[in-house]
């Protein structure tokens, strides 16, 4: 099929406005990459819909002319998710950023996909509510649902998939569907919420999300506990979980990462393997949890526990943790961040973290290890020189060794960042025959393979090159 960019621009402008469609080089460059080290490729056109109907019209044009579509939230993903592998039309959802409904009594909120998590939390605070999922970047809720994001609070509140009650989705042919409802439970039909959350834009575009929110806890206490070794810290977490303490956050930050934290956030925390902890609850229950936790960490050779009871100290602590990736980037000018992301059964975690540290040391690469350890999820943060092939090869080897270690022990190649292009090569090993089922679902919903092609699954197809 031959068609020019200009013809597609005109077709798009006939259903949107002129300002909503652009071929501007700078805008295309901003949509040609995410925050990962994967190679940039440019979309041919970028569009900015303002309604579900706009998105449906864009999809119909894409299908008619066989042009790939790449949904785009904030571009903060870490595995090349938004890179237009074959060019095409990038749909930027930033203008669809309205909070449509807050149903405080139902603990539900309905938002457009371009709303960011901090934007939502600012509004929810007035209702005494908060949204729990907090990836390091201030990502959009559409992007977070599409990657099944999680963060520091997932150990208590769950991941993105646990928060989604309903999605409005525009399918490849422009059809608009709802995947769920507003009820707290349902035994009706197949679980489409579960299917679409984490689908990385390859099955449809989310245009509305109904999400669970929570009451702001009556009391919150945060703490920092430092240990002589990563092993002691991880084993303390396992004991805390085994004791049934309903911890709200528990993050591991290793020694090199603590150095970056202090340097970037101007804190003077101990530069030892550290757990950042948070407890939510009422005053009496919380006091018991805190006391029990103190005993457990002491059993695991904890050298120092510092509590942050006031808001300012707590915010400083979590801001320092959230800014960690940026601290590494800031501390290594000219280098690019590579983040590994595996998740294992919690009983395997201490050995897996040790294996990762030994691998990092054997490859002689400066790197930090951090993790949402309550979930069995950890990352190696590695800064590499993209122009040094030897360094890139070592980074790839590190990633591969860590992934294979996790897969061999019943884990997954990605706990939260997703597959994109970076983790595609592990899909067969992780899923076996189930990968064929995924391909069948993709072909049924997107027979022309137009939606974010070559992410998660590698499917050969002919698309129109503009
Ligand atoms: C410093 C830093 C720290 C991070 N920490 C974490 C972390 O702790 N936990 C975590 O889970 N992630 C983390 N991430 C990764 C990232 O923030 C998440 O992957 C995020 O969920 C992506 O959201 P986004 O809005 O940036 O989406 P994008 O990057 O724009 O898109 C991500 C994917 O979603 C698809 N998509 C976007 N919008 C839609 C839509 N409306 N409909 C359908 N598909 C859509 C895209 O096609 C793409 O496949 C971190 C990233 C950075 C840079």
Instruction: Report pTM.
Output: 0.96
User: Of all residues in the chain, what percent carry a pLDDT higher than 90?
Assistant: 86
Measured CA to CA in angstroms, residue 59 lies from 72, 123, 143, 166 at distances of 14, 32, 18, 21
Measured CA to CA in angstroms, residue 319 lies from 274, 281, 365, 442 at distances of 15, 21, 26, 39
CA-nearest of 372, 350, 375 to 235 is 350
Which protein residue's CA is at the shortest distance from atom 6 of ligand 1?
135
User: Of all residues in the chain, what percent carry a pLDDT higher than 70?
Assistant: 100
Sheet containing strand 205-212, edge to edge, reads 99-103, 108-111, 205-212, 164-170, 176-178
Q: What does R_g of the chain's alpha carbons equal in angstroms?
A: 22
Q: How confident is the model at residue 1 (pLDDT cuts 50, 70, 90)?
A: low
CA dist 334 and 433 (Å) reads 42
Contact between residue 277 and residue 305 where contact means Cβ atoms under 8 Å apart: no
Please give the average per-residue pLDDT across 338-349, as a whole number: 94
283: buried, middle or exposed (CB in 10 Å: 19+, 13-18, 0-12)? exposed
Please give the average per-residue pLDDT across 54-70, as a whole number: 97
Binding site membership of 454 for ligand 1 (Cβ less than 6 Å): no
Residue-level pLDDT at 236: 95
Please give the average per-residue pLDDT across 150-179, as a whole number: 97
Please give the average per-residue pLDDT across 349-376, as a whole number: 92
Q: How confident is the model at residue 466 (pLDDT cuts 50, 70, 90)?
A: confident
Q: How far is the CA of 139 from the centre of ligand 1 (A)?
A: 6
Q: Is pLDDT above 90 for 2?
A: no
CA dist 18 and 13 (Å) reads 5
Q: How far is the CA of 135 from the centre of ligand 1 (A)?
A: 8
Rounded to 5 degrees, what are φ and ψ at 462? -95, 120
Q: What is the mean pLDDT of the chain?
A: 95
Say which range, 75-84, 116-125, 241-250, 303-312, has the weakest mean pLDDT. Answer: 303-312
CA dist 281 and 217 (Å) reads 6
What are 202-211's pLDDT values in tens digits? 999 999 999 9
CA dist 378 and 49 (Å) reads 36
Mutational pocket test of ligand 1: of 47, 50, 76, the residue with most ligand atoms within 8 Å of the beta carbon: 76
Measured CA to CA in angstroms, residue 84 lies from 20, 81, 112, 146, 455 at distances of 19, 9, 23, 16, 10
Q: Is pLDDT above 90 for 436?
A: yes
Mutational pocket test of ligand 1: of 138, 143, 381, the residue with most ligand atoms within 8 Å of the beta carbon: 143
């Amino acid at each position: 099929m031959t068609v020019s960019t200009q013809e597609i621009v005109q077709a798009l402008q006939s259903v949107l406005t002129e300002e909503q469609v652009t071929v501007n080089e700078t805008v295309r460059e901003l949509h040609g990459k995410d925050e990962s080290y994967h190679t940039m490729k440019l979309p041919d056109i970028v569009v900015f819909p303002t309604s579900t109907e706009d998105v449906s019209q864009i999809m119909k044009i894409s299908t008619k002319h066989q042009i790939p579509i790449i949904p785009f939230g904030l571009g903060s993903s870490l595995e090349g998710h938004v890179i237009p592998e074959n060019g095409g039309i990038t749909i930027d959802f930033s203008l669809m950023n309205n909070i449509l409904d807050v149903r405080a009594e139902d603990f539900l909120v309905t938002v457009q996909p371009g709303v960011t998590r901090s934007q939502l939390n600012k509004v929810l605070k007035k209702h005494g509510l908060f949204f729990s999922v907090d990836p390091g970047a201030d990502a959009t809720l559409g992007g977070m649902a599409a990657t099944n994001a999680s963060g520091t609070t997932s150990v208590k509140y769950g991941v993105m998939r646990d928060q989604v009650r309903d999605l409005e989705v525009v399918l490849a042919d422009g059809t608009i569907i709802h995947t769920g409802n507003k009820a707290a439970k349902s035994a009706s039909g197949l679980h489409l919420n579960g299917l679409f959350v984490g689908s990385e834009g390859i099955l449809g575009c989310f245009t509305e999300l109904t999400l669970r929110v929570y009451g702001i806890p009556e009391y919150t206490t945060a703490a920092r506990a430092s240990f002589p070794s990563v092993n002691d810290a991880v084993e303390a977490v396992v004991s805390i979980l085994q004791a049934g303490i309903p911890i709200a956050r528990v993050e591991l930050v290793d020694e090199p990462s603590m150095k970056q934290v202090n340097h970037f956030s101007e804190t003077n925390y101990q530069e030892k393997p550290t757990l950042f902890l948070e407890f939510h609850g009422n005053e009496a229950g919380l006091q018991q949890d805190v006391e029990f936790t103190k005993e457990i960490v002491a059993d695991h050779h904890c050298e120092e526990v510092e509590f942050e009871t006031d808001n300012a100290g707590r915010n400083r602590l979590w801001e320092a943790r959230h800014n960690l990736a940026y601290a590494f980037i800031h501390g290594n000018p000219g280098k690019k961040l590579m983040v590994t992301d595996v998740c294992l059964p919690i009983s395997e975690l201490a050995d897996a973290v040790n294996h990762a540290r030994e691998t990092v040391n054997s490859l002689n690469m400066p790197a930090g290890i951090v993790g949402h350890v309550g979930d069995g999820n950890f990352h190696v943060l590695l800064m590499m020189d993209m122009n040094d092939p030897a360094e890139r090869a070592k980074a790839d080897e590190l990633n591969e060794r860590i992934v294979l270690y996790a897969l061999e022990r019943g884990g997954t190649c990605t706990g939260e960042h997703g597959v994109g292009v970076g983790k595609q090569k592990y899909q067969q090993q992780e899923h076996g025959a189930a990968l064929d089922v995924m391909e069948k679902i993709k072909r049924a919903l997107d027979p022309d393979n137009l939606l974010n092609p070559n992410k998660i699954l590698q499917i050969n197809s002919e698309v129109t090159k503009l």
